[in-house]
Each structure stands twice: as structure tokens, then as C-alpha cells.
Amino acid sequence: MTRDPLLKVRGLEVAFPGQDGPVTVVRGLDLDIEPGERVGLVGESGSGKSVSMHAILGLAAGARVSGSVRFDGQELVGAPSSTLRAVRGRRAGLIFQDSLSALNPVLRVGAQITEPLRLSGTGKREARDRALELLERVGIRDATRRVDDYPHQFSGGMRQRVMIAIALAQSPELLIADEPTTALDVRVQRQVLDLLLELSEERGMSLLLISHDLGVVAGGTERVVVMYAGQAVESATAEPLFQRPLHPYTWGLLGAVPQLTGSRPERLPAIAGRPPDPAVPPSGCPFHPRCPHAQDRCATEVPMLLEHEPDHRAACLRVGEISPPALIAEERVDA
Amino acid sequence: MSSVASTAPPAAPARPRRVLTLARRYKLESVGVVIVAVALLLVILGPALAPHDPSATDFARELQPPSLDHPFGTDTAGRDVFSRVLAGARLTLLAVLIVIASATLVGVALGCAAALGPRWLDTTLMRICDIGLSFPALILALGLAASMGRGLDAAVIALAATWWPGYARLVRGLVADVAQQEYVESARALGVSRMRLVLRHVLPNSLDTLWVQTTFDVAAVTLVISGLSFIGVGAQIPDPEWGAMVADGRQVLTSAWWVVTFPGLAIAITALGFNLTGDLLRSELDPTVRERRGVG
């Protein structure tokens, strides 16, 4: 008997009302996260990564959400707000990209860490001790003093650590980190990522790391899902995805990661064109207008996310017919 | 005390210095703050400080000019104007504060409901506000107060009933804006309940603008309440209410200027003080100004 995954998303669709009818920004996303597993979700800005994660916790305001989201077996789509609240924070935490706007400017950080704890009935002293412990754990020095500071008194990296402490306060089983490092400089990015991975490991907490940067998810995640135009286009365990990517879009993304070793290209290769407008999605394969390998049938046939190798799925009609450009074929994984 | 200061974190001594810095930056506005402080002190202590009984008549000493015994003179019934101005602070300002407090409470509740509730509720409440705001507050309050009979209570109720739509409108805008901020969503992602979201995350972040508005409104309501009493629908004459005192003295304006002048000055200075304080709050709390200055 196989145990159900902690998070099981099937056919998730998210649509927002638009001027000419609803605009579907997530179209049939499937995603599994096992307990303790670290998954990377990668895609360009506007590919629907963040929206789908917010929709999972019922936080996509004004959106029409359909499909199925099962958290530990419990259906969350269409669930009453009491059910959602019981999951939010307590079982699944969410970390936002911009820590400055995601922290309440008029509350001391200590109060923001203890708030969810106090709500679930922890005593005042105990909650404060826990806040101190968490701040120390996420690497904030002098926690006893800083616990009474306001968010604007912290640097960007420190604020992101505070956010992590808040998310950890209720010991969730799943932590969704939505572009947690995008607003930070490179060195601090690495530190924050390492912290997230460490915490995930030591607590056996599942981690869903959302990023537009494959380089960010490369080290440390066990599985990577590549999203394009509101769909998963490739999904595999990390190593095969980086070594033998199947989808031309993934090739494009990998080509856009700057390398420190090897010959340096004049310019970073870019994927031609722009992501499709969700209001007028392209026919057939959503990537075909930008795909250098597109054929006529790509414009008419919709590719399914199929398992081409064990535990390696891709949604491309031409898997096996085409191979990645030379750049990718070389050793690319620095993780 | 000194032992407390030495163990306090280094941030503590900065506070008095900050007050000084503020006072230097806003010289004129500081005068307003002092006026407000004195006015609020008088609300508490006014009647106790009065040298004479503010309503005791003494027809042998009516319309006496200012003297050592009666610094502001006496009125048409020989009552001590100085005592009446002091005692009037409580009556007038308490009435004003009750008006502002109830209008703010109603406005905040309805503003939040409009901003966060269903669309139809928003539309209904805002149309009611439109109707309320389309009447001049003084006229509407005048009508309401007159229909409830004379007296300060009637004036207070009437004013509170006409003053809330401004707050509802203001709070709705502020709350709708703050509710979209990411930290509200991030609190929601922590499983914070709706009520708590509003009370702890949305409202406190909307209060700055509200404080500025209430401060200005204390000045405005002071004028309107005194105006109502002056016309005769508010406080009635033995009560030491500033507007009523001005009304009482206006027949003797040419012969006994002090009866009108001192309560009139009290009204004017109070309004000025709250307006200046409002200016100070606005320049300190306005986010655009605050950002330009950087946070200390």
C-alpha cells in the first residue's frame, strides 16, 4: 500500500474575471509533494507559480479555483474557511517574496511570531520563549533584543529570516516559499536558501520552493517541476531534470542560468518571444510559438504530461525526436 | 529613577530628545499641542480651578468689568465669566469628544463593513453616506437637535448622527487599501481569523490618517457645537457652555465686551489649537512625508 502524498494537486485551474470573460492563469496543474520532500517549482514570471500556490491555501482573492487540492487527504478546494484556517499556518506555511511588505509595519516582530501561537492557545511566556528560540534558530543574532524591533529595523536578509521564523512558529508540515530570495542580493540568497533547506531537513518538513531561477532550486531540491503558461511542462527528480531535460522550454531556462565555469558566452541565451497572454492562450502546445523545434502539429495537438522515463514526465509531442542544444549536453549541474 | 535609566536599553533616552527635535521642527504647531494639552487638562480640572461657582448669580454685581476678583468680569446675572470659561471647557469639550468618539466608532464599524463586506452592503452604506454628506452638517444637526428639544444632549446626539458618514467614507477607503497589502495576506496565510485580521492588522495600519482627521474634526465640531448653543438649540444659559455664553452676552456687547469676548476667545483658541495639532500630526504621519524623511 502506498501512502498518499502530503499535498496532492490534481487538475488545478485558477481563473480571474477579466474584461472579456474569465482569464485562466493556471490550467490543469498536477503536483505531488511527499512528506519531507523538497520540491522546486520553476517558471517565468507570469507562468502561474505563485497564483497556484496561493490558490492551494485558498488565498487567491477573487479567483475561481477548480480541480482538487488534497492536503493530507483533506480536500481544500471549496472547503469552508474554518477548514482552510486550520491548515493555513498550522500545517502549511507560506513565505512571501517581499519581506518588507509581507510583515506588518506597526507590529513588533516578536508579536508577529507569537500571534499564531497565542491564537492556538500557547501561554504568553511560552510563546515569547518560542519566538526567541525561533529567531535564534533562523540566525538572528541578539534575538532577545531584536524580538522587540519593528520590521523596518531589519535588513532585507534578516527580514526574510524573520518571515521564516514566523512561518515555522506553528511547525507546519509543508513550507511553501514563494520566491523567498528574489529580493535579496546573491550572497544573502544563498544563506537564506541554505537555511530553508537545513530547516526542512532537520524538521522533516516538506518544502516547496518557488522560483523563476533554476539556479536557485538546483542545489537541494529533490524534484523539480517546470511550469509554463499555467501548466506543468516537465517534472522529474532533480538530477535527470538538470542532466537530461526533455522539454525545449527547460532547455531554454537552463541556458539562461549564468555559469561561473567554462567558456563565457557573449550574451546569456534567451528564450525568444514572451510568455503567452493568458487571456488568449495559443492553440496546441502553449510553448509552440516560442519553440525553436515546433512543427505544424504542435500548433494543433495539445501535449500531455507523459512519463517518458521513470519518474520523468514532460509535456512535449517531440520528446525523443529532438535533443537539447550542445550547451546543455555538457556537464551543467554544479549542485 | 536613575537606576531605571541606566538599565534601560539605549533607545530609551532618545524619546525626550525626539520631543525636542519635533518641537524645534514644528514651532507653531507646538503651540497648538500646548493649547490642546491645556484644554484637555481643563476638561479634567476646569470646574475645580474655578474661583467662583460658575452658575451662582449675584445681581448686585452684574456686568462688572474685569478686575482682580473677576479677571474676565461678570455677566448679565453677575456670574463670574472666568469661572464659567474654565468650567465651560469640560462641558464644551466633553460634548465635542463624545460627538467625535461616537462618530468615529460608527464610522469605523460601517467603513470596515463596507470595505470588507459584500458588494451590496458597500453600495448601500456608501449611498447612505452620500445622502448624509450632501447636507451641510450644521443645518442637518440644527434640524435634528431642534426636533429633539433644546439641550446639549440633543445637540450632541444630532451632531454624532450627522458626523459619522465622513468617517465611514474615510475608513472604507483606508481599510480597502490596507486590506490589499501583502502583510494582511501573509497573516491570512498564518490562519489568522477574519475578525482578528481587521482588528489587529488592517485597522492599526489605517489609524494614522484617521487620527489626523479626528484632530481636525475636534476643531470643527467645537465650532459647530458652540454654534448650535449660540443659536439656542444646544446648551441653555445657566450651563457654562462657551457658545451659549457668547449668545447670552451679545445683547450687552457694546457696554460689556468681556461677556462675549472671553468665551469667544476660548472657542477660537481651542479650535486653533486642535487645527495646529492636526497639521503637526499630518506632517508627521503622512506616509509620503514620513518616507522622505527616512525612519530614525
Whether residues A152 and B295 touch (CB distance < 8 A) is answered with yes
Q: Architecture of domain B70-293 in CATH?
A: Orthogonal Bundle (1.10)
- Selected residue with higher pLDDT from B157 and B284: B157
Residue B126 pLDDT exceeds 90: yes
Q: For the sheet with A38-42, list strands across it.
A: A92-95, A174-178, A206-211, A38-42, A223-228, A231-237, A312-314, A306-309
Number of A–B residue contacts, CB under 8 Å: 69
Which of B186, B196, B207 should one mutate to test binding to chain A, selecting the residue with the greatest count of A CBs within 10 A? Answer: B186
Same domain, A70 and A132: no
pLDDT score at B103: 94
Give the nearest partner residue to A116 out of B9, B192, B201, using CB atoms.
B192
- Selected residue with higher pLDDT from B269 and A308: B269
Structural domain contains residue A335: no
B10-19 CB contacts, 8 Å cutoff, 24+ apart: B18/B296
Residues of B in contact with A57 (CB under 8 A): 189
Residue B13 pLDDT exceeds 50: no
Residue B211 Rama label (left phi>0; alpha psi -120 to 50; beta): alpha
pLDDT score at B15: 63
What is the percent of chain A with per-residue pLDDT over 70, rounded to a whole number?
A: 91
Grid coordinates belonging to A218: 538546483
Distance between CA atoms of B188 and A57, rounded to whole angstroms? 10
Structural domain contains residue A233: yes
pLDDT score at B98: 94
pLDDT score at A269: 65
Give A258's pLDDT tier (boundaries 50, 70, 90): low
Grid coordinates belonging to A168: 515555522
- Are B62 and B77 in contact by the 8 Å Cβ rule? The answer is yes
DSSP summary character for residue B198: I
Whether residues A89 and B182 touch (CB distance < 8 A) is answered with no
Same domain, A86 and A189: yes
Which of A98, A104, A153 should one mutate to test binding to chain B, selecting the residue with the greatest count of B CBs within 10 A? Answer: A104
Question: What part of A 267-296 touches B (C-beta under 8 Å)?
Answer: none
Same domain, A131 and A272: no
Same domain, A235 and A142: no
Structural domain contains residue A334: no
Average pLDDT, chain B: 83
**pLDDT digit string, tens, across residues A117-148:** 887 778 888 889 889 988 988 888 888 888 88
Q: Which of A114-118, A164-168, B124-128 has the lowest mean pLDDT?
A: A114-118
pLDDT score at B283: 84
Whether residues A59 and B189 touch (CB distance < 8 A) is answered with yes
**pLDDT digit string, tens, across residues A306-326:** 888 888 888 888 887 777 765
Distance between CA atoms of A261 and B17, rounded to whole angstroms? 55
Distance between CA atoms of B279 and A243, rounded to whole angstroms? 64
Structural domain contains residue A325: yes
Residue B67 pLDDT exceeds 60: yes
pLDDT score at A104: 87
Same domain, A241 and A225: yes
pLDDT score at B214: 92
What is the percent of chain A with per-residue pLDDT over 90, rounded to a whole number?
A: 4
Count of structural domains within chain A: 2
How far, rounded to the nearest angstrom, does the alpha carbon of residue B257 sit from its chain's CA centroid?
Answer: 28
Same domain, A230 and A271: yes
Q: Provide the domain limits for residue A81.
A: 7-91+174-329
Whether residues A152 and B193 touch (CB distance < 8 A) is answered with no
Q: Write down the domain spans for chain B.
A: 70-293
**pLDDT digit string, tens, across residues A170-221:** 889 999 988 888 777 888 888 888 888 988 988 889 999 998 888 788 878 8
Residue A102 Rama label (left phi>0; alpha psi -120 to 50; beta): alpha
pLDDT score at B106: 95
Stretch A150-161: mean pLDDT: 87
**pLDDT digit string, tens, across residues B139-150:** 888 888 888 877
Grid coordinates belonging to B48: 475645580
Structural domain contains residue A50: yes
Same domain, A39 and A26: yes
How far, rounded to the nearest angstrom, does the alpha carbon of residue A161 sit from its chain's CA centroid?
Answer: 17
Question: What part of A 134-163 touches B (C-beta under 8 Å)?
Answer: 145, 152, 163
**pLDDT digit string, tens, across residues B198-223:** 888 888 888 888 888 999 999 999 99
